[in-house]
Structure 1
């Protein structure tokens, strides 16, 4: 039976104690929580994708470390509390963790995601809603893009709202392939989905097969020529660096759809693409924006 060690630590000790638990004391996992959560003293800590956390913890943090057995948990607590540098660290609990069906618990956290009333992302263990006319079957995995993040939802909403018989579509940085699959379901005749990560390419191929759509998934050199629709849901920095490449893929009369951009980064993206296309903000959700551009026919 596994055991959980619960410690209370001031902010100054959080990072060092967490590292010691993970690197030296054989903890299977370590989590950090606000010890004042649910009270008037609770503090929100916000970070941004790809950036370090603004602080390692809260003024009073609760550390929860999971161990294979009671002896390992007791050893970790004894060694930590005996150190001079851990003054202020206190033991809150050392208790067994009940056996649980982790697969069922994980699955319960992911339900169907509504993109529009008729377009849904549905995990394989759920039945599609009765109103769903288009459904992407997608389970959480290693590749980014399950439909739960605002950037993905905004791209999917755009695809649904502008659906037409695109002759070719490029999904650059395809992740799970969710945007490529959505484009295929909404009328695209041919779809190229590319990513620098081979695991993402494999995930995209598997998800396309599971959804009964045909697409060409590969590394970035699989993209070529002009596309009536170019999609890229990555992050602002690579989007800026890729501006000449992505803009160059857009066919006359075609559209460019970019996501992974924070609201405060809008002007940076506009400037990066200005020599090629005029970007505008087309959608907003939870601090993220969708930016689009069209090339004159």
Structure 2
């Protein structure tokens, strides 16, 4: 493998990236060329949402090619293009061969939710203390248990209020990890919905791999009232979804929301005030879990 490194101004990042893909680059990465220097810049934006700009003032683009000839040919072809003005080639160099599968797997160790509840990739054995285990490998859909928002939701599930989880809805299910966790903790029946069909398929596959029964589908598959409604998305869509999510919470039921930064708590409280009273139930690494209960 060989990588081609380029220095590109902000307004050229998109055009050069598209050209590299057209030139059969295996991958294209973009990073701040001034990272770790006084000139470093942050691209601000809510996590998971598009950044306000395409790149940094000086971006380093790294494109991976299968051989040196391909990398050098790409550099030569780019240099002849008008849109490459202001850009420059930093280097073409060999990339050390690695066992990429083993390297990727090494980055995903078992995740402890509680001493008895763990998320364990299939290439690891569960810890001896584990009594409930979700088998989940990194995939196309969000939710491997490594993010604070997912861990907080699963902790809440593991310590669910008296009376149990009952009929449960996982809205924006991603990998299905919350729906699976709820099922393992006695929720029945469980509906998992997402706007992304790939997420729905991932949820079905992961549920089958974990031996749990649930119903997964697009958002219109959610119907009626639930004792537990879970939604780990982001603050902006959660605010828009306030009336819909609250309408699904039955009398005495619980609403559990995540994907919210600590500084966004007041916004969520205000958005949900006409329907339910939210409060912060957990916090980790700048993220919060917010919950509400519909009075009996």
TM-score where L is the length of structure 2 = 0.88
How big is each residue's C-alpha offset from its partner over 1:120-158, in whole Å with a ceiling of 9 and x where there is no partner?
111000111222222111011112111112211111111
Structure 1: 5+ residue stretches without partners? none
1:154 partner SS:
helix
Q: Is the contact between residue 120 and residue 136 of structure 1 (CA under 8 Å) also seen in structure 2?
A: yes
CA distance in 2, matches of 1:201, 1:250: 22
- What is aligned with 2:176? 177
- What is aligned with 2:105? 107
Residue 155 (structure 1) aligned with residue 153 (structure 2) = yes
Q: In structure 2, do the counterparts of structure 1 residues 181 and 51 end up closer, same or farther at CA, with 3 Å as the change threshold?
A: closer
Where do 1:56-205 residues align within 5 Å? 56-83=54-81, 86-162=84-160, 165-205=164-204
Backbone CA RMSD of aligned residues? 2.4
Q: Is the contact between residue 163 and residue 186 of structure 1 (CA under 8 Å) also seen in structure 2?
A: no
User: Which of 24, 27, 34 is residue 26 of structure 1 equivalent to?
Assistant: 24
CA distance in 2, matches of 1:42, 1:283: 33
Residue 296 (structure 1) aligned with residue 289 (structure 2) = no
Q: In structure 2, do the counterparts of structure 1 residues 192 and 11 end up closer, same or farther at CA, with 3 Å as the change threshold?
A: closer
Structure 2: 5+ residue stretches without partners? none
Residue 251 (structure 1) aligned with residue 250 (structure 2) = yes
- What is aligned with 1:239? 238
CA distance in 2, matches of 1:161, 1:118: 12
Q: In structure 2, do the counterparts of structure 1 residues 163 and 209 end up closer, same or farther at CA, with 3 Å as the change threshold?
A: farther
Deviates more, 1:12-21 or 1:59-68: 12-21
| Structure 1 residue 252: Cα displacement | 1.2
CA distance in 1, matches of 2:286, 2:137: 26
| Structure 1 residue 246: Cα displacement | 1.3
Deviates more, 1:95-104 or 1:149-158: 95-104
